[in-house]
Amino acid sequence: METERPEALISSRGIRTQVDIKLEDIVKKRLARAKLQKLQRNRMEKDFVFTRKNHRTPILFDAGLTLDCFEGLALEVASQAKILHKNSIGSYDAILRESGCSIFNNETDDLSRLHWLNKTVVLGGYLQSWRYFDNIRDEIRRIFTFKRSIYEAAKIAILNGIDRLINRSATIRQNQKAIPKIIGIHVRRGDILLDPHKSGGQVPATEEYLLSTVLEYQAKYSPAIFVVLSEDLDYCRKLFTRDHFIFIENTSAKIDMAIMSLMDEMIMTVGSYSFWGAYLNEQATDVT
């Protein structure tokens, strides 16, 4: 009778190396696809978000937006005075907003009908519903592919976090039988705790939700490493006290979003930042 061979074990250094290889594979595939799409850039931008089905021209007028971090995006950002046609009373013809957090506004579904003819329509709110983008989901992800430099910074932050975890955790230093799942957790705090946001349905995640979801993912994806991103890391460190947590700090907002897009799975909380970090993640199949 043949004796069963023991499973091969992976050293802590091997874990870091395998995670690095996995992240680089994701980045290479995304950048290669974005490069091919540059040949179609003009068509993609004209089709941006709602414009294909509504026969409209897309305009961005927030000069504070950071767009140079995306490989596939080259939309002009101009002042409102330059690009918006205003009506006779000096205001926009219509501003369409959601009635509450993550609620799809059906009015945006067809802006080409007679009611909106020759009118300037401003899309306001957070647009945190998959229904706004589902018909062009793949193109959205191609357009918002981060540049190599952003992905590199994101990879370094993740791998440095794994190094810190290895140094402090006896559990991680022990040989593992599998490469851990890298699970992102975005914890929205700050102004989301204030009443104006709560009244609109943006309710902060409870500690019970965060802890129970972590336990659920640990049971489902053992072994797992959790990568925590938040504007309130002090709160997160008090909440997540056990091994297997990496806290990302001293990184910019665009790098944090790139990190979320590289995770194997994602745990979200309320807010547009968490929504987009998860939406731009193509490999995650379990997003909570």
Distance of CA 177 to the CA centre of its chain: 30
184 in Cβ contact with 259 (< 8 Å):
yes
Residues 120 and 210 in one domain: no
- Look up the pTM and report it: 0.82
The confidence score (pLDDT) of residue 270 equals 83
Total of domains in the chain: 2
Last residue of a domain, one of 109, 143, 177: 143
- Does any domain span residue 107? yes
The confidence score (pLDDT) of residue 202 equals 72
In terms of Cβ atoms closer than 10 Å to its own Cβ (0-12, 13-18, 19+), residue 171 is exposed
The confidence score (pLDDT) of residue 84 equals 47
Q: What is the mean pLDDT of each run of 10 residues along the chain (288 residues)?
A: 54 84 94 74 51 60 66 60 45 73 79 70 78 83 91 97 85 73 91 67 85 95 93 94 92 94 93 88 87
- Does any domain span residue 237? yes
181-187 vs 121-123, strand pairing mode: unpaired
Last residue of a domain, one of 118, 143, 168: 143
Residues 193 and 241 in one domain: yes
What range does the domain containing 82 cover?
A: 39-143
The confidence score (pLDDT) of residue 118 equals 73
Q: What is the CATH number of the domain that holds 174?
A: 3.40.50
Exposed e or buried b per residue across 78-111, where buried means at least 16 C-beta atoms within 10 angstroms of its C-beta: eeeeeeeeeeeeeebebebbbeebbeebeebeeb
The confidence score (pLDDT) of residue 228 equals 97
In DSSP terms, 186 is beta-bridged to 229
Q: How many CB atoms lie within 10 A of CB 186?
A: 26
The confidence score (pLDDT) of residue 22 equals 94
Last residue of a domain, one of 143, 164, 180: 143
DSSP 212-270: HHHHHHHHHSSSEEEEEEES-HHHHHHH--SSSEEE--S--HHHHHHHHHT-SEEE--S
Residues 61 and 166 in one domain: no
Measured between alpha carbons, how far is residue 268 from residues 19, 98, 108, 205, 283 in Å?
A: 22, 20, 26, 9, 15
- Does any domain span residue 1? no
Residues 157 and 139 in one domain: no
285 in Cβ contact with 200 (< 8 Å):
no
